Every structure is written in structure tokens, then in C-alpha cells.
Structure 1
Amino acid sequence: MHRFWEKVIKPVMIAAQPAHIVEIGSLTGLNTFKILDYCHHTGSKCTVIDPAPQFDADLLSDYYGESFRMVKDFSLQALPGVEPYDMILIDGDHNWYTVYHELKQVERMALSAGAFPVVMLHDIDWPYGRRDMYYFPESIPEEYRKPSAMQGVEPGNPLLVPGGGFNHMVHNALVEHGERNGVLTAVEDFLKETTFDLSWHALRSNNGLGIILPGDTPYGRMIPFILNTSGL
């Protein structure tokens, strides 16, 4: 998601002026460090959720103080304990079950807080827009878990690639497309059901970035401008 920082994420943050940002999935922290710099200069705070962050969270905590909170847990276990937020970046486990239920938890928070946050989601395009991927397959209930294998994927091939291929080191669903399969499918299913007035915006480059906005936001007109002029 960090590839969208300069041209999309930072401008959206400046327009929305979030006071509390949640980041799901931090990996090595390339995006996290940028968010924390924003928080440091604006007096905002960031809660990062990742069961296995690949950076020194204690060091960041010492440097950023109350602007930073690290939660080392799965997102679906952690989100109910996070105080209300006005922006959330979702780039964690790229599968229907996780993303759909992350959005449902965002919705429950919004119902309690009285306002829906800005939601940014990575990987709404190939390879995981229409295919589940599991970092920890055992964390997904069996009835929602697609048959998968630690084999890679390639553009235009709905099946997995024995030996090699993109992301061959994680568990990928054996088949692309179909019901309850992939990040974009989870977003679409959520948007069909929610009672909130929301708008949806998408970029297809860099594996895809989706943005969900509350329909009545005063900065809503800025988002299409930011996306259309990003060059992405």
C-alpha cells in the first residue's frame, strides 16, 4: 500500500484530517512510518494491528509516544477493542472472510460512534481481488476457507502454478473467482448489505486500491480529483 502514499493516501489524509488512524497489516512498516510522521505533525494517533510486525515496535513507541499503539493480534480479534477511529487502512489477510468481517466490524464501530470512517483497502485487483490468500489458514473457519496450496499465481491463469509463480510462499486458493472469494468480492458483498450511505472509488494499479467514503463527507468531491490526477 505504501506505493500509493505520495499521490493518494497522503492527499486523502490531508483532505480528511483524521484524528485516529488504524492500520491493519504493517509488514516492514514502509507505510506505517509515513502515517506516524503525519500523526506526529498533526497531533493525531495511529493504532497498528499486525500479529507479526517486521519492525521494532518498541523503538517506534519510544519515539512517537502516545501517537503510536501496536496491537500484535489478528485484526478480527483486535478491532473490537480499538477506540473509535475516522480512517482505517486495510492491508492484512487478503481473503473474503477476513476483509468482509473487518468491514462489518468497521460498520459496528460506526454505528456506535455515529460516523463511518474513511476506509482504504489494498489488493482489490489481481491477484487477490477475486482469489483468497491465507497467511494463517487455520485462523479462517473451515466453512469459509477455500481449498488452497502454497503455490504461486500468474496473470490470466485461474489455477495455481506448480513451482514458482507470484506469492508462492503463501496459501493461495486453488481457483480464482466464484462466491466469497477475494478482497473485491468481500467489499462488494459488504456494500450490498450496509445501511450506511457510502461511496466507492477504485484504482487498478499496484494490485489495486479501493476507498470507501461516507456519502455526506464535506471533502467527498476531493477524492475523485485526487484519484484522477494521481497518474496511477
Structure 2
Amino acid sequence: MHRFWEKVIKPVMIAARPAHIVEIGSLTGLNTFKILDYCHHMGSRCTVIDPAPQFDVELLSAYYGEAFRMIHELSLKSMPDLEPYDMILIDGDHNWYTVYHELKQVERMALSAGAFPVVMLHDIDWPYGRRDMYYFPESIPQEYRQPHAMQGLEPGNPLLVPGGFNHMVHNAVLEHGERNGVLTAVEDFLKETTFDLSWHSLRSNNGLGILLPTDSPFGRTIPFILNTSGL
């Protein structure tokens, strides 16, 4: 998701001025560091959820202090205990079950807090828009788990291939179909939610989607940011 920082995420943050940001999935922290710099300058705070972050958590905690909180846990287990937030970036486990239920957790928080946050989701396009990926297959209930294998992907080929893209994780054997992929999870959530939400998206860099209330005071800024991003 860090590839969208300068042209999309940063401008959206400046427009929205979130006070509490949640980031799901930090990996090496390339996006996390940028979010924390925003928080440092704007007096905001960031909660990062990742069971296995690949950066020095203690160093960031020492530098950013109360602006930074790290949760070493799976998102669906930790989200019910979060304090209200006004922006969340979802870039964790790229599968229907996780993303759909992450959005349902966002909805529950919003119903309690009285306001739906800005939601940014990575990987809404190829390869995981319509195909599940599992870091930990056992964390997904069996009835929601697609047949999968630790093989990779290649553009234009619907089948898994040895040594292809992301061959080190578990990928669904088949693309498309019900309850399969990140974008499918977003679409299924939007069919059910009682909130009036607007959906905006980019297809580059594996895809970025943005959800926010239709009546958001800065809602008209989002299409401008996306249309002039050059992405």
C-alpha cells in the first residue's frame, strides 16, 4: 500500500484529518513509518495490527511514544477492543472471510461511535481481487476456506503455477466465484450495510479502494485526488 502514499493516501489524510488511524498489516513498516510521521506532526495517533511485524517495534515506540500502539494479533481478534477510529487502512490477510468480517467490525464500531470512518483497502485488483490468499489457512473457518495450494500466480493464467508470484503463501486454486477475493468481500459488504457509503477505486499497484460516507464533507475531494494521481 505504501506505493499509494504520496499521490493518494497522504492527500486523503490531509483532507480527512483523522485523529486515530488504524493500520491492518504493516509488514516491513514502509507505510507505517509515513503514517506515524503524519501523526507526529498532526497530533494524531496510529494503532497497528500485525501478528508478525518486520520492523523494530520497540524503536518506533520509543520515538513516537503515545502516538504509536502495536497489537501483535490477528485483526479479527483485536478489532472488537479498539477505541473508535476515523480512518482504517486494510492490507492484511487478502481473502474474502477476513476482509468481509473486518468491514463488519468497522461497521459495528461505526454504529457505536455514530460515524463511519474512511476505509482504504489494498489488493482489490489482480491477483487478489477475485482470489483468496491465506497466510494462515487454519485461521479461516473451513466452510469459508477455498481449496488452496502453496503455488504462485501469473497474469492472464487462471491456474496456479509453481514458482509464480507469491508462491510462498497459500493461494486459492480457482479465481472468481462466491466468497472469493478482496473485491468480492467489499461488494458483499456494500450489499448489506445500512450506511450510505461511496466507493472509489484505482486499479494500479494491485488496486486500491476507498470507502467513506456519501455525505462526507471532503467526499468530493476523493475523485479529484484519484483522477489526478496519475496511477
Q: CA deviation at 1:114?
A: 0.1
Q: CA deviation at 1:159?
A: 1.2
Instruction: Name the SS of the counterpart of 1:216 in structure 2.
Output: coil
Structure 1 CA distance for aligned equivalents of residues 106 and 135 of structure 2: 22
Structure 2 unaligned segments of length 5 or more: list them: none
Instruction: Please tell me whether residue 205 in structure 1 is matched to residue 197 in structure 2.
Output: no
Instruction: Please tell me whether residue 225 in structure 1 is matched to residue 224 in structure 2.
Output: yes
Structure-to-structure mapping, 1:78-227, within 5 angstroms:
78-161=78-161, 163-227=162-226
Report what 1:49 is aligned to. Answer: 49
Give deviations 1:71-119, integer Å, cap 9, x for gaps.
0000000101110000000000000000000000000000000000000
Structure-to-structure mapping, 1:8-27, within 5 angstroms:
8-27=8-27
Q: CA deviation at 1:7?
A: 0.1
State the aligned residue count. 231
Structure 1 CA distance for aligned equivalents of residues 177 and 206 of structure 2: 19
Q: Which runs of 4+ in 1 moved over 6 A?
A: none
Cα RMSD (Å) of the superposition? 0.4
Instruction: Name the SS of the counterpart of 1:153 in structure 2.
Output: strand
Instruction: Name the SS of the counterpart of 1:21 in structure 2.
Output: strand
Structure 1 CA distance for aligned equivalents of residues 154 and 117 of structure 2: 34
Instruction: Please tell me whether residue 30 in structure 1 is matched to residue 30 in structure 2.
Output: yes
Identical-pair percentage:
87
Structure 1 CA distance for aligned equivalents of residues 216 and 131 of structure 2: 32
Structure 1 CA distance for aligned equivalents of residues 146 and 13 of structure 2: 35
- Scaled by the length of structure 1, what TM-score is found? 0.99
Instruction: Name the SS of the counterpart of 2:94 in structure 1.
Output: coil
Structure 2 CA distance for aligned equivalents of residues 197 and 56 of structure 1: 39
Structure 1 CA distance for aligned equivalents of residues 102 and 158 of structure 2: 26
